[in-house]
C-alpha cells in the first residue's frame, strides 16, 4: 500500500463521514495542486489559501479554522508545503496524531522532491544540450545565462562575465533581466562578489539583500561599479555566484539573482548551478575555438578568392597554400612542410630554424654552406629575400627567403640555384614561409605556455611553508625530493635585447641548458627576461659543475650573437624542503651581479662580505663612504696621495713595508703619511673599532669603483 492510500484510510477512519482533501504547494512556482479528494473531484476543489511562514518554515504545522472548514498546513524544511483540508470546523485529531500525520505526509513530500530532482536533472541535461548546440560565441553566452535560470527556477535574472587578460578585468558578456547598463559593469580580481568568486573559485550563496550588500562592501566594490549595478536593476533579495572554468583554469563567473525570495537558496542549488557552469565552460571553449577557426578560415577563404580573381599564377599560389595549410592543420610538423615544398618546387631546399638555431634539409647528409652567425648577420638589417654566394665557393648561388612574424625573424628557406628562379617557385616560397611562420608561432606559443605552467608550479612550491607540503607537492611533480637541490636564476639585462625577441632567446637558452645538463628531473622555466633552474645534484660539490656548464653555454652564445646573460647560483642543500633557502640565495647572488652591472654568473658562496650589503641602498653606502673620507679633499693633490696610501695600506693587510714598496716611497715617508691620515680622519689605527670602520669603508669604496667602471664600459 502506498503512502497516499494509507494516509487516506487513516483519515477516513478518523473523520468518518466528514469529507477532506489533501493539497500540495510549490514554494518556487506558487502552484497549489490537489493530491487527493475523498469525495471525488468537483467537491469544492477551489485551492485553499496557504499562509506564509516566517523564515521559510520554522513551524512544522499550522491549523487555520474558517467558517465551514479547517486547514492543517504542514511545512517542510525542503521547501514545499502540504495541507489537509477538512470540511468541518472541528477535527478529531490530538497533537500526537497531527505529528504522526506530519511525518506520514513527509513521504509524499519526499516523492515530490524526487520528482523535482528528476525534473532538475532533465532540465540540466536539456540545457547542456542546448548550450552546446551552437558554436557562435555570442549565442552560446546568451544561451548559458538564459538556461541557468531554467536550471535554478527560483532565480529571476542573471549575467555572465569573462576575464579579459589585456584589461585585467571581468567583463559582462551576457545578461537576462538587466538593462544595458550592466555591460558597463567591470570588476578587478578580488573586487566585489564576482571578482572574489573568480579569484578563489568558491561558490557563494546569499539569501537576503543585507547579505548581498554587506558582501559587496566586504569585497571592496568601487563606487563606480556600485552605481552601475544600481542603475542596471532593482535591489535583489538573493543570489548565487559561481566560477566558470575550463579544467583548472578559471575564465569567468556567472551570477543569478532573485528579485523576491521565493525559496531559500540551498547548497543543492549551488551544486546544480556549478555543474551547469562546468559544462558552460566547455561550451565557451568550443565556441571560442570555433570562432577563431572560423575567423581564420574566413581570412584564408577571402585571400583565396582574391588570388583566383587575379591570374593563373595566383591560382598556383592558392593550390600551394591549401596543400601546406592542410599539412599545418593536421600537425604534420616542420619536416613534412619542408618536404612538401621541395616536392612542389623540384629543387633542393634547406630550412634554417632560428628558434632552435638548427638546419633542416630533406636531403640526407646535406652540407650547409652558411653558419648560424652568417645568416643572422645577413638578416639583421634586411627583411627581403637575397641572393648570396658562399665565401668558400664562388660558383654556387643561393636564394635566401626570410621567415618573419611581424618584426621577429624566425629563420629562412635556402634554395640552391642551378637555373633562374621561376615565378611558380617564387610563389611557393612565399606561401611556404607564411605557413612555416604560423607553425613557428604555434611552437613558440606552446613553449611559452608550457614555461608559464612550470613557473606557476615553481611559485606554488615556494608558497608552501611546511616541509611536508613541499615534499608532497614535489612527489606529485615527479621530483626526487631527497636529492641535493640548487637553484640558478639567469637574467638577460633589459637593454641587451629587443623585447619581441626575448621569448625566442629565453627558449634558446633553456633548450641549451636542458641539453647540457641532460636531466629529466629538473625544473626549468623562462619568465619574462629570467630563467629559473631547479636542479637536483648527487652532492653539494656538483654546483661547481653546473656553474661551469652555464658559463660554457654563455660563452658559446657569443658565436651566435646571442644576448649576454648573467646569473646567480645558490648553494646545494639536501632535500627539496630547502627550496626557499636556495631561491633566496640565488636571488641575492643575482642582485649582487646586477648591482655591479656585471654579466657574470656568480655563486652565492663566492660573494663573501658583500652579502652584508646586498639589501642596503646605494645612498646609504655612499653616505657611509663620504662620512669616512670627508676630510680628504678631492681637489687637493696631497689629500689624494693620503687617500691612495690608506687604500693601499688596507689592501695589503696593514703591511707598512709592502705599502711603501708598492707606492715607491721610503718607509719613514709612509709612517709620516699614516700619522697625517690618523690626525685628518680623527681615528686611531691601533684601535680595533677604528680599524674595522676604515677597512669597511675602503672595501666599499673599492667595490664602488668597480661598479662605476662596469657602468662606464657598458655604455
Beta strands in 492-606 (DSSP E): 523-527, 530-537, 566-569, 573-574, 601-603
Neighbours of 410 (CB within 10 A): 21
Fold of 3-119: Beta-Lactamase (3.30.450)
**Where does 132-290 sit in CATH, by number?**
3.30.450.40
Largest CA distance in the chain: 137
- The matching CATH number, chosen from 3.40.640.10, 3.30.70.920, 3.30.70.270, 3.30.70.1560, for 464-607 is 3.30.70.270
Same fold, 132-290 and 464-607: no
Q: How far apart are the C-alpha atoms of 218 and 216, rounded to whole Å?
A: 6
What does each C-alpha distance from 287 to 330, 404, 652 come to in angstroms? 20, 30, 74
Fold of 311-444: Beta-Lactamase (3.30.450)
C-alpha grid cell for residue 440? 613557428
Instruction: Identify how many contiguous H helices and E strands the chain contains and give both numbers.
Output: 20, 22
pLDDT of the residue at 190: 92
Domain limits, the chain = 3-119, 132-290, 311-444, 464-607, 618-714
- Burial track 552-588 (b if 16+ CB lie within 10 A, e otherwise): ebbeebeeeebbebbbbbbbbbeebbbbeebbebbbb
Are 20 and 11 within 8 A, CB to CB? Answer: yes
Question: Looking at the domain covering 618-714, what would its CATH class be?
Answer: mainly alpha
pLDDT of the residue at 198: 93
The sign of the CA dihedral 66, 72, 75, 79 is negative
Backbone torsions φ then ψ of 261, nearest 5 degrees:
-70, 115
- Mean pLDDT, consecutive 10-residue stretches, the chain (715 aa), reads 74 82 74 75 64 57 82 75 82 80 74 60 52 67 78 83 91 89 92 92 89 88 89 83 88 87 76 80 80 80 68 65 70 77 80 82 71 81 82 75 83 83 81 82 81 86 87 87 89 66 80 82 84 88 88 73 79 89 86 79 76 60 67 72 78 79 83 79 73 72 66 52
What does each C-alpha distance from 579 to 451, 483, 583, 591 come to in angstroms? 19, 12, 6, 18
Q: Residue 562 carries which DSSP code?
A: P
What does each C-alpha distance from 473 to 250, 459, 461, 485 come to in angstroms? 22, 12, 7, 15
Amino acid at each position: 500500500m502506498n503512502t497516499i492510500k494509507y494516509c487516506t484510510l487513516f483519515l477516513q477512519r478518523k473523520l468518518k463521514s466528514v469529507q477532506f482533501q489533501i493539497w500540495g504547494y510549490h514554494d518556487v512556482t506558487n502552484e497549489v495542486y490537489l493530491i487527493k479528494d475523498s469525495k471525488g473531484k468537483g467537491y469544492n476543489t477551489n485551492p485553499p489559501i496557504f499562509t506564509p511562514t516566517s523564515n521559510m518554515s520554522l513551524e512544522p504545522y499550522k491549523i487555520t479554522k474558517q467558517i465551514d472548514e479547517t486547514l492543517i498546513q504542514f511545512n517542510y524544511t525542503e521547501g514545499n508545503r502540504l495541507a489537509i483540508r477538512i470540511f468541518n470546523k472541528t477535527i478529531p485529531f490530538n497533537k500526537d496524531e497531527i505529528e504522526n500525520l506530519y511525518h506520514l505526509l513527509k513521504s509524499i513530500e519526499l516523492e515530490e522532491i524526487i520528482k523535482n530532482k528528476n525534473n532538475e536533472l532533465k532540465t540540466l541535461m536539456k540545457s547542456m544540450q542546448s548550450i552546446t548546440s551552437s558554436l557562435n560565441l555570442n549565442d552560446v553566452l546568451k544561451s548559458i545565462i538564459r538556461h541557468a535560470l531554467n536550471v535554478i527556477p527560483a532565480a529571476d535574472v542573471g549575467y555572465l562575465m569573462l576575464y579579459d587578460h589585456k584589461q585585467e578585468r571581468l567583463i559582462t558578456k551576457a545578461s537576462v533581466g538587466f538593462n544595458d547598463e550592466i555591460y558597463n559593469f567591470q570588476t578587478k580580481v578580488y573586487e566585489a562578489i564576482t571578482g572574489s568568486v573568480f579569484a578563489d573559485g568558491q561558490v557563494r550563496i546569499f539569501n537576503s539583500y543585507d547579505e548581498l550588500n554587506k558582501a559587496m562592501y566586504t569585497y571592496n566594490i568601487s563606487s563606480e561599479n556600485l552605481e552601475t549595478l544600481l542603475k542596471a536593476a532593482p535591489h535583489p533579495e538573493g543570489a548565487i555566484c559561481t566560477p566558470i572554468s575550463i579544467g583548472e583554469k578559471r575564465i569567468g563567473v556567472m551570477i543569478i539573482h532573485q528579485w523576491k525570495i521565493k525559496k531559500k537558496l540551498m547548497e543543492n542549488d549551488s551544486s546544480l548551478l556549478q555543474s551547469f557552469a562546468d559544462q558552460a565552460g566547455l561550451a565557451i571553449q568550443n565556441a571560442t575555438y570555433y570562432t577563431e577557426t572560423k575567423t581564420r578560415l574566413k581570412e584564408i577563404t577571402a585571400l583565396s578568392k582574391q588570388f583566383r580573381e587575379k591570374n593563373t599564377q595566383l591560382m598556383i599560389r592558392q593550390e600551394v597554400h591549401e596543400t601546406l595549410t592542410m599539412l599545418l592543420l593536421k600537425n604534420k610538423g616542420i619536416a613534412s612542410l619542408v618536404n612538401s615544398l621541395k616536392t612542389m618546387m623540384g629543387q633542393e631546399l634547406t630550412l634554417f630554424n632560428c628558434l632552435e638555431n638548427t638546419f633542416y634539409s630533406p636531403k640526407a647528409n646535406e652540407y650547409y654552406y652558411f653558419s648560424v652567425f652568417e645568416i643572422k648577420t645577413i638578416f639583421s638589417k634586411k627583411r627581403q629575400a637575397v641572393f648570396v654566394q658562399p665565401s668558400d665557393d664562388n660558383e654556387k648561388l643561393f636564394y635566401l627567403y626570410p621567415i618573419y612574424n611581424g618584426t621577429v625573424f624566425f629563420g629562412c628557406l635556402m634554395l640552391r640555384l642551378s637555373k633562374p628562379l621561376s615565378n611558380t617557385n617564387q610563389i611557393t616560397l612565399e606561401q611556404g614561409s607564411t605557413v612555416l611562420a604560423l607553425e613557428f608561432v604555434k611552437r613558440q606559443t606552446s613553449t611559452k605556455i608550457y614555461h608559464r605552467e612550470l613557473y606557476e608550479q615553481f611559485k606554488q612550491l615556494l608558497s608552501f611553508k611546511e616541509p611536508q607540503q613541499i615534499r608532497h607537492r614535489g612527489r606529485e611533480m615527479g621530483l626526487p625530493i631527497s636529492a641535493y637541490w640548487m637553484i640558478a636564476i639567469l637574467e638577460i639585462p633589459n637593454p641587451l635585447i629587443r623585447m619581441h625577441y626575448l621569448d625566442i632567446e629565453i627558449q634558446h637558452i633553456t633548450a641549451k641548458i636542458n641539453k647540457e645538463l641532460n636531466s629529466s628531473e629538473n625544473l626549468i622555466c623562462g619568465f619574462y627576461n629570467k630563467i629559473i633552474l631547479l636542479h637536483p645534484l648527487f652532492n653539494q660539490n656538483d654546483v661547481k659543475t653546473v656553474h661551469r656548464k652555464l658559463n660554457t653555454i654563455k660563452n658559446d652564445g657569443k658565436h651566435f650573437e646571442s644576448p649576454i646573460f648573467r646569473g646567480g647560483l645558490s648553494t646545494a642543500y639536501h632535500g627539496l624542503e630547502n627550496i626557499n633557502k636556495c631561491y633566496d640565495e640565488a636571488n641575492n647572488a643575482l642582485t649582487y651581479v646586477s648591482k655591479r652591472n656585471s654579466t657574470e654568473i656568480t655563486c652565492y658562496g663566492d660573494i663573501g662580505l658583500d652579502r652584508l650589503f646586498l639589501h642596503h641602498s646605494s645612498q646609504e653606502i655612499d653616505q657611509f663612504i663620504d662620512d669616512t673620507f670627508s676630510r680628504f679633499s678631492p681637489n687637493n693633490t696631497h689629500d689624494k696621495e693620503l687617500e691612495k696610501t690608506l687604500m693601499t695600506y688596507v689592501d695589503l693587510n696593514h703591511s707598512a713595508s709592502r705599502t711603501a714598496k708598492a707606492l715607491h716611497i721610503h718607509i719613514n715617508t709612509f709612517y709620516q703619511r699614516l700619522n697625517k691620515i690618523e690626525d685628518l680622519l680623527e681615528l686611531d689605527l691601533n684601535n680595533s673599532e677604528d680599524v674595522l670602520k676604515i677597512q669597511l669603508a675602503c672595501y666599499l669604496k673599492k667595490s664602488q669603483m668597480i661598479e662605476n667602471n662596469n657602468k662606464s664600459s657598458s655604455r
